Structure 1
């Protein structure tokens, strides 16, 4: 049955639901069990889920049309959303964004030439690589924080060790490096930037 030349039901519905289940399962493994435990960034969890779900359905819809130029424009738009942002995204979060988009595209666009074993295998391999890099190969990530420091005598080069020890005592962080920014002699304050390794 059709309404306005659009059928009420298509056999591809079951294919879409099954593909979505596969995609959502592997996305959950990537986002909730690989990304979140190492970063604790809840804001990006929401973003990754929503973007990946939209990308999946967008690609699955485009797949119904045998238009090569349309598919190319659609994929261009999908990867173009990486630049659609107001704040700069850290490189690690950007990488995970690319991963969840890529996984969704793979799961949505796989055709009869690609078996379910290959689809699942590709997803498993991606998760495996992420786990290995996160758990065993990832280097410590250095973060920085700008603070206003009032003990201006300690910013002298000869008092660097005293400055570093004082900042470590106040912040409770193991500081790797301290840099001096703007100095306000009227208020006896200085802008200092501390560098430390992130503790997951």
Structure 2
């Protein structure tokens, strides 16, 4: 028995696309503003649904099955590492696509399950669970301030120079020859999405700090 493009297929496909859009466009993109990841999640979910739907009834040899698994195992974002939040959304997209393709749930039950997943994701993105913190990677040249006794000076200097409500700082590699330290700054802001979307228009340096915006949680 093989799957065909018929009315049930279109219902499942459109339902899957609808809820992936709700998840990644209505929830994920609203808080992250990352258009590239939005595109990747949408296309990844569509591809998983189509491949799974058309192949789950096909008799496959063990070698072909392992080969298919190997192909999927290579579908990793090797050029840019995914943070835990992005990987969680990727996992939810795969779950939704697999349920739509092979679960055999009635369409109304599938809608209910997907609605519950989207609701949980929406609640998790709010401040009901925890306050939002975002991170910025910077190269900091005033390494005297990274000493434990100067921690308050470090926070005050970063707040003044980058204009953000800095909450905490994690110190990475320290180059004593160049007097430069790699810092990860955690901060609160109300304009994270706008800053992320305008990131490409920012100058490469700002008051001695090399800036790179990253969404956090």
TM-score normalised by the chain length of structure 2: 0.71
1:110 aligns with 2:100: no
Q: Of 123, 127, 132, which aligns to 2:118?
A: 127
Verify the 8 A CA contact 1:53 1:104 in the aligned structure 2: yes
Question: What does residue 96 of structure 1 align with?
Answer: 89
Residues 29 and 138 of structure 1, relative CA distance in 2, 3 Å threshold: farther
Residues 169 and 194 of structure 1, relative CA distance in 2, 3 Å threshold: farther
1:130 deviation in Å?
1.0
Residues 66 and 155 of structure 1, relative CA distance in 2, 3 Å threshold: closer
User: Where in structure 2 are there 5+ consecutive unaligned residues?
Assistant: 193-217
Aligned equivalents of 2:109, 2:147: Cα separation in 1: 62
1:94 deviation in Å?
0.4
Aligned equivalents of 2:89, 2:172: Cα separation in 1: 33
Question: What does residue 162 of structure 1 align with?
Answer: 153
1:174 aligns with 2:165: yes
Question: What does residue 34 of structure 2 align with?
Answer: 41
1:180 deviation in Å?
7.0
1:90 deviation in Å?
0.4
Aligned equivalents of 2:146, 2:77: Cα separation in 1: 41
Q: Number of residue pairs matched?
A: 187
Deviations 1:71-129 (A, max 9, x none): 96588458635645332210100010011111011111133xx2222111111111111
Aligned equivalents of 1:74, 1:21: Cα separation in 2: 29
Question: What does residue 22 of structure 1 align with?
Answer: 15
Query: Matched residue of 2:86: which SS?
Result: helix
Verify the 8 A CA contact 1:146 1:193 in the aligned structure 2: yes
1:177 deviation in Å?
3.1
User: Where in structure 1 are there 5+ consecutive unaligned residues?
Assistant: 1-9
Residues 34 and 14 of structure 1, relative CA distance in 2, 3 Å threshold: same
1:148 aligns with 2:134: no
Query: Matched residue of 1:20: which SS?
Result: helix
Rg larger for: 1
Verify the 8 A CA contact 2:12 2:107 in the aligned structure 1: no
1:169 deviation in Å?
0.3
1:59 deviation in Å?
0.7
TM-score normalised by the chain length of structure 1: 0.76
1:195 aligns with 2:185: yes
